[in-house]
A and B are shown apart, each in its own frame.
Chain A
Amino acid sequence: MNADDWLRAFAAELYQRRVGGDAARHVVAEAATHLREGGGDPWLVFGSPQAYAAAIVESIGTAPGPRPGPVRLHARGITKRYGRQVVLRDASLTVRAGQIAAVVGANGCGKSTFLRICAGLVSPDAGEVTVSGRLGYCPQQGGTADFLLPDEHFVLVGAGQGVPRGPARQAGRAAARQLGWDAGNAVLARHLSGGTRQKLNLTMSTLAQPDVLLLDEPYQGFDQGSYVDLWDQLTRLRDEGRAIVVVTHLLNQLDRVDVVLDLTPAHQGGRS
């Protein structure tokens, strides 16, 4: 991890720990100046980004986090069978505005199916889902057009909501920048790397300003920096009052979420 990566991870940690925006910017700028003028490995100078962020929080305190708002997504009693195999049994989840929920579980336990049911793309055998407001969905893969440019994807999504082309392009590029990606280059989607393509996928799902955002393992192919950017953006969206559901099998970020739904069947040690 070079100095830039360290600073980025540090900024993300501060943000995650709810250090106020101006204070966080000031601390990061100070650390950057120190590294630039003094040189040296940030890990030796400051330690890990997490540890240094914790020390900063202790000394300057944090901004109070927004309280969770009204319920935005309520899924209850979701049961789904494929043939004789029961994939989901009586799964329930409630997510409020300003919350991130993680759907976790072993491979094949129905995480993606649960999300597709919440998005209304698949019908369950039992149960129902109530959504307040607009819904956004980012699939695990696919969901883009091979022979279109990123800008054209933004125009396509924007037209669905009656947004004119220019503003749709600008909004798409701005959302992509939040993920550390310059979407202005004229590269067809099929020529994008796996991680960049997933950023396009993610950008498309946030472009519609959804109140409920459903993300199916959105970090596929992401490098470390992009992964940090993703969680930064999710935290930002949460603080704006969005309800977010993330399907994940990476458990190291569970401390950053508010609700966890474990779909691992009980006999395998699940706690759904």
Chain B
Amino acid sequence: MNRLVTVAEMTLRELARRRGVLLLLLLMPLTFWLIRRDSYVGQSVRALLLGISWAVSTAALFATSAARELEPRLRLTGYRPHHLYLGRMLGLWGLGLAISVPFFLLTVVDANNLRYGGIAVAMLCCVAVAAPFGMLIGALLPRELEGTLLLLTVVAMQMLLDPADAGAKLTPFWSSREIATWAVDHTDDGYLTRGSLHGLVVTVLLIVTVAGVFAVRLRRRRHLHHVPIA
């Protein structure tokens, strides 16, 4: 447990010291919000959720890429793969929640007649999905530029696809959009249920995939035999 907490803490410390990155992380959802603010409150909320998703997954991508050289040697000092990826994920979830709080307050202050509980759940889904999603891309693509371009593609696809389209459900952040519809348009509870279920399933799938990728990347190689000292 101490290992998990230490990795989570160090992840947060590293990110907290990247002031420029933090500023951009806050600026991005705010920009998305401001651009859509004059049109329709539902659009601005959805844009805000997408901004949070994009910001947290980008932070996760960069944190994972930055730790690529460090993790193998931490593995040698006694960490198991799950300490490293779960610890990092915990740190990123913490960061995502910290980013989300001011934006949640912004919606409370700026928009009336919303189901604010729904907005909070949608933000939770964004953060829950974005951390393992960004980590997965960071683990699979060794170069940050490639990872960023892939993230951009996914977010653009998320933005352009009709949420009612069957294919839209395959995108990672569909859940938050569905829940936001329930929260903004006061639709039936099916939206909330479907969205929450989608968020849960996608999060679990992503965590399992991240676990698999890290387990392979940080595996004990078969050619190396450890013999205890007599």
Contact = CB atoms under 8 A, between A and B. Distances in A.
Contacts of A33: none
Given A147-B17, A188-B17, A211-B229, A160 B78 contact: yes
A124 B225 CA distance: 13
A254 interface: no
B74 to A, nearest CB: 6
Nearest to A159: B6
Contact of A136 (B10, B76, B228): B76
Contacts of B229: 132-133, 211
Given A143-B69, A147-B18, A148-B14, A161 B225 contact: no
Contacts of B222: 123
B3 A121 contact: no
A144 B73 CA distance: 9
A136 B78 CA distance: 11
A75 to B, nearest CB: 9
A205 B70 CA distance: 12
Interface residues of A, number: 41
A133 B225 CA distance: 10
- Centre residue among B6, B220, B223 by max chain A CB count within 10 A: B223
A148 B13 CA distance: 7
Interface string A92-128: 0000000000000000000000000111111110011
A152 interface: yes
Task: State the 5 A-B residue pairs at the shortest beta-carbon distance, nearest first.
Answer: A142-B69, A160-B77, A160-B78, A120-B224, A159-B6
Interface of A: 70, 117-124, 127-133, 135-137, 139, 142-148, 152, 155-157, 159-162, 188, 204-205, 207-208, 211
Interface string B119-150: 00000000000000000000000000000000
Nearest to A132: B227
B163 interface: no
A120 B223 CA distance: 8
Nearest to A211: B229
B221 A123 contact: yes
19 contacts: A123-B223, A124-B223, A129-B223, A131-B226, A131-B227, A132-B227, A135-B76, A137-B73, A145-B14, A145-B66, A146-B66, A147-B14, A156-B10, A156-B74, A157-B77, A160-B77, A160-B78, A160-B79, A211-B229
A157 B74 contact: yes
Contacts of A211: 229
Contact of A128 (B6, B15, B225): B225
Contacts of B69: 139, 142-143
Given A120-B221, A152-B10, A159-B6, A132 B73 contact: no
- Centre residue among B67, B220, B229 by max chain A CB count within 10 A: B229
Contacts of B14: 145-148
Contacts of A152: 10, 13
